[in-house]
């Protein structure tokens, strides 16, 4: 309080993240609302960072619940701040995060539908014959997509 900074601590086990911001909440000058080409680019890069983070994690750590729980805890804590800049920034980040997760879910749903369709077409094509390599490959792909889809629903 003596330095004019507000401290907010977030638990992100095993780390503790300390965020500082000037207590002067009347000052409306923070990066997301500033004007000019540099700040527009900053905002676009900030939003793109969140989308790319989720996209890069879509096949692995997105479903381990640790990463998402930590990010959601951080954004929830920031959204509850007295500082408008934190609230605005965390709300924007949460919206971009949700948009990216929904996009991945829709993509996964399309892949699941396509894998099922390809499997059924191949199965009809070979008719009553024994299974072939292509059908086995499509069955594995279908099971893999279904498994990832179920992990995402949890």
The mean pLDDT of the chain is 76
User: pLDDT for 101-149, tens place per residue?
Assistant: 999 889 888 888 888 888 888 778 777 666 677 777 878 888 777 776 6
Question: Which pLDDT score is estimated for 9?
Answer: 52
Q: How many CA atoms lie within 13 A of 3 on its CB side?
A: 6
pLDDT at 90: 93
pLDDT attached to residue 112:
86
Residue spans per domain, the chain: 2-152
pLDDT at 4: 44
- In angstroms, the CA 15 to CA 33 distance is 30
Distance CA 91, CA 86 (A): 8
Long-range Cβ contacts of 81-86 (<8 Å, 24+ apart):
81/6, 81/8, 81/21, 82/6, 82/25, 83/6, 83/21, 83/23, 83/25, 84/25, 84/28, 85/21, 85/30, 85/32, 86/8, 86/19, 86/21
Who has greater pLDDT, 88 or 135? 88
């Amino acid at each position: 309080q003596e330095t004019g900074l507000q401290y907010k601590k977030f638990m992100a086990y095993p780390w503790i993240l300390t965020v500082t911001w000037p207590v002067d909440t009347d000052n409306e000058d923070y990066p997301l609302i500033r004007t000019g080409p540099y700040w527009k680019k900053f905002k676009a890069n900030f939003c793109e960072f969140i989308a790319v983070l989720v996209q890069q994690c879509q096949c692995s750590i997105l479903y381990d619940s640790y990463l998402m729980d930590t990010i959601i805890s951080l954004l929830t804590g920031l959204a509850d701040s007295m500082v408008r800049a934190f609230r605005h920034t965390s709300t924007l980040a949460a919206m971009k995060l949700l948009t990216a997760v929904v996009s991945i879910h829709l993509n996964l749903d399309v892949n699941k539908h396509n894998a099922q369709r390809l499997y059924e077409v191949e199965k009809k094509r070979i008719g009553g014959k024994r299974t072939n390599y292509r059908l086995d490959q499509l069955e594995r792909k279908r099971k893999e997509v279904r498994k990832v889809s179920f992990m995402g629903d949890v």
